[in-house]
Structure 1
Amino acid sequence: MTSGLTPELTLSAYCQGCFPMADPSTGEISFYEPDPRALIPLDERFHIPHGLRRTLRKKPFEIRMDTAFAEVVHACARTDQPEEQWIDGQIEEVYGKLHEMGFAHSVECWDGEGLQGGLYGISLGKAFFGESMFHRKTDASKIALVALVQYLRAHQFLFLDTQWTTPHLLKFGTYEVPAREYREMLKRALEG
């Protein structure tokens, strides 16, 4: 099954509300469909914590998109906790191909010392599926998330899918919807 992951299969899974992850111990790829599904609001419910607002005013990073996609994915794959490493070589390869095809994108925070944080995900129709984020300097991944939300708002996206809720994402107003409702939202986003 591990060798069967392809860009086409991955896109088909997203269109059905699923996404792939590698098992860190076996390398086997499985597809997941969380219920409930976590979303970051793109309307006024999106919350920027007070301290982050102060940091944003200082403009510590230059925001770029899609200039170092492979580096962002690779940085997201590196973790100090091997049991949480669901991004393996197969995932990196397939998402690299999806980037070449125009479906996978990165948002990056740069400064004079290089790439300091970012995130990547998949864009289909009016839906963006956030996959992972990383930071080398404080707040870099959070600033990339704020930049992504601004971009998605400007381009009338319907939602930003974060798959599962985490304490980190709750600070931004993340909310959950039942899988059934999510599939309806997804259908509308793919038609748009």
Structure 2
Amino acid sequence: MCLGCYPNLLDVVVQGFEFCLRREFFNGAQSNEKKITWVNWPKVLSVKKYGGLGVSSFFALNRALLVKWAWRFISNDNSLWYRVISAIHGPSVQVRSPTPCSPWYSIVREIQNLKNKGVDLLSHCKKRVGNGMHTKFWHDIWIGDQKLCCVFPRLFALEEDKDCYVASKFHGSVDLSFRRAVRGGVEAQQFAQLRDIVIL
């Protein structure tokens, strides 16, 4: 049985293990003796400015480390971690795995659970550009907080090579691969903004 396949069971096991170990430490008790609990557990985990003891939660720490693996996948596109995971599961962070008990599946599922609760951590992760050979100009979040195809839809509609990389755009003008010249109005305004952002 793989605990990663049962997120609720895994949460209960982790929290229960954390509770038992730390409770015994803070109460000064061994597993075979019983002592009075002077402070309730939520108070122990609360930050000091709210009257707690400021002890970190293993459960929260585990979630932070899982998100860090996803961040490393997004930002380090030439690392061994990226090459292995992208070869097995594809180049994007998606809950789509042939092996549902794999570590990557568990990581992505946990990130999705946080997103469903209103915490979208991946929106704050940016791809490391490097030489620009592995970063898509329009589809990757490499500058700003959104994909350029969403920020500049009129320019993206003019683009002939919609999967072009950053390196190709920096070797010439941004509009070199456009199907026609940029016209006035919204197109000209978006083109001026794009040139200011990418500093060409």
TM-score with structure 2 setting the length: 0.21
Higher helix share: 2
TM-score with structure 1 setting the length: 0.22
Higher RCO, Cα 8 Å, sep 6+: 1
Higher strand share: 1
